[in-house]
Amino acid sequence: MNSPEIRLVPMTADHAGAVLAIYAAGIATGHATFETEPPTWAAFDAARLPGHRFVALGTDGSVTGWVACSPVSSRPAYAGVVEHSVYVDPGHGGRGIGRTLLRSLIASTETAGIWTIQSGIFPENTASLALHHRCGFRTVGTRERIGRHHGRWRDVILLERRSPAIT
């Protein structure tokens, strides 16, 4: 999964500042999440599965992107379903970092027996939609006016990737 320009490592507390800064940059676009500010590291850390979160490091060792996922439910029937987020530092877009991160998440979840990775993406986030389709996600549908964001109703495109191990 690594290339000479992109090295992936498991996300740790050492990456907290950079991860939350990249998250804040995504929030600032207005098209990445319903969140209006990043959480504390403690809240972020507690909500994500430790075996399925990675950071991309640039040649200088700085964090250039991250991917992480959370369970969608505590119900046993949904034990193999996660929701994920992938963010790339705005200064490092277009270099394959998002694709590398997403492929790493897919590999780790496949190994763990997770059968569905899902995400909700704003329709305006065309780069993220294209990335997910290139990585084998399919559009399930549009959740119209699913939530309010900065005073207006927003739609979300629901995407999922099903493990090929599930028949």
Percent of the chain clearing pLDDT 90 (strictly above): 95
pLDDT digits (tens, 9 = 90+) for 23-79: 999 999 999 999 999 999 999 999 999 999 999 999 999 999 999 999 999 999 999
Mean pLDDT in residue range 143-160: 97
Confidence band, pLDDT 50/70/90 cuts, at residue 166: confident
Confidence band, pLDDT 50/70/90 cuts, at residue 165: confident
Domain ranges of the chain: 7-118
- Asked whether the predicted pLDDT for residue 149 surpasses 60, the reply is yes
- Residue 98 has, within 13 A of its CA and on its CB side, a CA count of 21
What own/partner pairs with CB < 8 Å and gap ≥ 24 does 12-20 have?
13/41, 13/45, 15/55, 15/63, 15/66, 16/41, 16/44, 16/45, 18/55, 18/62, 18/63, 19/44, 19/55, 19/63, 19/66, 20/44
Q: Which CATH class is domain 7-118?
A: alpha beta
pLDDT digits (tens, 9 = 90+) for 75-96: 999 999 999 999 999 999 999 9
Question: To the nearest whole number, what is the mean pLDDT of the chain?
Answer: 95
